Amino acid sequence: MSNTLTEGGAKGRAGDKVFSGLTLFAGCLILVVLFAVAAFLILQAMPTFAADPAKITGGEGFWVYIWPIVIGTLIAAVIALLIATPVGIGVALFISHFAPRKMAQGLGYVVDLLAAIPSVVYGAWGIAVLAPALVPVYGWLAENAGWIPIFQGPASQTGKTMLTAGIVLSVMILPIITSLSREIFLQTPKLHEEAALAMGATRWEMIRMAVFPFARAGVISAVMLGLGRALGETMAVALVLSSGALIPSLIKSGNQTIAAEIALNFPEAFGLRLSELIAAGLILFVITLAVNMIARWIISRHKEFSGAN
Residue numbers 118-137 binding another protein by CB under 8 A: 118-125, 127-129
Rg of the Cα trace of the chain? Answer: 25
The binder of another protein chosen from 63, 67, 98, 140 (CB under 8 A): 98
DSSP letter at 98?
I
Residue 229 or 302: the one with the smaller Cβ distance to another protein is 229
Enumerate residues 37-66 that contact another protein by CB under 8 A. Answer: 37, 40-41, 43-44
The binder of another protein chosen from 1, 6, 102, 305 (CB under 8 A): 6
Residue 49 or 266: the one with the smaller Cβ distance to another protein is 266
Enumerate residues 254-273 that contact another protein by CB under 8 A. Answer: 259, 262-263, 266-267, 270
Distances, alpha carbon 228 to alpha carbons 88, 222, 224, in Å:
16, 10, 6
The binder of another protein chosen from 229, 249, 250, 251 (CB under 8 A): 229
Side-chain-side CA neighbours of 176 within 13 Å: the count stands at: 21
Query: What span, in angstroms and rounded, lies between the C-alpha atoms of 221 and 291?
Result: 9
Query: What span, in angstroms and rounded, lies between the C-alpha atoms of 273 and 62?
Result: 11
Scanning 153-161, 181-189, 244-252, 278-286 for contacts with another protein by CB under 8 A, the matching segment is 278-286
Query: What span, in angstroms and rounded, lies between the C-alpha atoms of 161 and 154?
Result: 12
Tell me, by CB under 8 A, how many residues bind another protein: 96
Q: Tell the smallest beta-carbon distance from residue 208 to another protein (Å).
A: 9
Query: What span, in angstroms and rounded, lies between the C-alpha atoms of 264 and 249?
Result: 22
Is there binding between residue 26 and another protein (CB under 8 A)? Answer: yes
**Encoded amino acid at 138, one letter:** Y
Residue 217 or 248: the one with the smaller Cβ distance to another protein is 217
CB–CB of 223/82 below 8 Å? no
Query: What span, in angstroms and rounded, lies between the C-alpha atoms of 79 and 170?
Result: 8
Scanning 64-72, 111-119, 158-166, 248-256 for contacts with another protein by CB under 8 A, the matching segment is 111-119
